[in-house]
């Protein structure tokens, strides 16, 4: 059996858990044809997987308690070819990656996981912290009628203030250094919440180049480290209900729950073709 390992990377709230919930439903329900099919659960908490998948089907936001910690889910996905393939899919909390960026340290079990396999990098397309330019800050200060001396007051810098693309390039750079460096890797950039980015009328690769130019340039100038591609993915399919007390139910969430086949709410595109199959990027990483 040929074994492949996929490292799931992304800052908090980038869409990793929603993707895993949709993937678990997709390969387990067999509602639609997929490139890879479910083989077995190699390791991980079945209760956790079923819980996040149930909330995904019910169009409900994931509870924070379900997202905490590193679940280290490992799913065996196989092809129809004579030689099967095993894919490990560690569900590492985004806070672990934030800690790597901000404090330059991580747990040993996280480091061991990151020292193997291809990379599935999640970026929330509708939640990108962009750089602030001095001229833009000055214009905002004028618009708010702030005194010049007040607008010019320095703000103490900390790593969490860095733009999204700076943090992501920093994380990928760490994978190219000891002790995490394992040589050339395949990388898929997953632009999550793609349904909210389609209004830009850009293909996923064009969106990356326009909205995250530093990340795009880093990948283009490091071909010896990364063989990469980009997908836009809407694994959620629309606005979900917030389960906090007093929160109103959303009509869009009710429409999603009414769908006969939840898998049909999934949309994956590379800018050329579109499908409901979340295993397509995983199959590309396994080549």
Residues 156-167 have pLDDT tens digits of: 888 888 899 999
Q: 272 versus 90: which is more confidently predicted?
A: 272
d(CA 62, CA 242): 9
Read off the pTM. Answer: 0.85
Phi, then psi, of 253 in degrees rounded to 5:
-65, -40
pLDDT above 60: residue 151: no
The DSSP secondary-structure symbol of 4 reads E
The residue behind tokens 């007390």 is 245
CB 264: neighbour CB atoms within 10 A? 13
Cβ-Cβ contacts under 8 Å for 140 (sequence gap 6 or more): none
Peptide bond before 179: cis, by omega within 30 degrees of 0?
A: yes
The string of pLDDT tens digits covering residues 165-207 is 999 999 999 999 888 899 999 999 999 999 989 888 999 999 9
Q: How far is CA 229 from the centre of its chain?
A: 14
The domains of the chain, with CATH numbers, are 2-285 (3.40.50.300)
Confidence of residue 66 (pLDDT cuts 50, 70, 90): very low
pLDDT for residue 150: 56
Q: By the 8 A CB rule, do 268 and 198 touch?
A: no
- CB burial string 140-176: b at 16+ within 10 A, e below: eeeeeeeeeeeeeeeeeeeeeebbbbbbbbbbbebbb
């Amino acid at each position: 059996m040929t074994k492949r390992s996929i490292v799931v990377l992304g800052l908090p709230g980038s869409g990793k858990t929603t993707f895993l919930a949709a993937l678990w439903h997709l390969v387990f329900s067999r509602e639609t044809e997929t490139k890879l099919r479910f083989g077995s659960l190699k390791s991980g908490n079945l209760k956790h997987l079923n819980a996040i998948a149930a909330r995904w089907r019910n169009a409900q936001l994931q509870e924070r308690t379900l997202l905490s910690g590193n679940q280290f889910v490992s799913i065996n996905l196989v092809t129809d070819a004579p030689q099967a393939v095993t894919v490990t899919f560690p569900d590492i909390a985004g806070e672990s990656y934030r800690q790597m960026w901000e404090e330059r340290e991580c747990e040993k079990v996280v480091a061991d996981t990151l020292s193997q396999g291809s990379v599935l990098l999640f970026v929330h397309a509708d939640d990108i912290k962009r750089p602030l330019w001095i001229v833009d800050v000055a214009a905002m200060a004028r618009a708010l009628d702030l005194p010049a001396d007040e607008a010019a007051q320095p703000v103490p810098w900390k790593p969490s203030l860095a733009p999204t693309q700076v943090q992501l390039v920093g994380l990928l750079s760490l994978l190219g250094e000891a002790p995490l460096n394992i040589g050339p890797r395949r990388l898929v950039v997953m632009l999550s919440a793609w349904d909210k980015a389609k209004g830009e009328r850009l293909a996923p690769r064009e969106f990356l180049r326009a909205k995250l130019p530093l990340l795009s340039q880093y990948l283009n100038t490091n071909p010896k480290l990364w063989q990469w591609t980009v997908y836009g993915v809407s694994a959620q399919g629309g606005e979900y209900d917030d389960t906090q007390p007093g929160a109103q139910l959303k009509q869009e969430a009710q429409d999603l729950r009414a769908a006969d086949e939840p898998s049909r709410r999934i949309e994956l595109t590379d800018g050329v073709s579109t499908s409901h199959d979340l295993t397509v990027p995983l199959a590309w990483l396994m080549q």
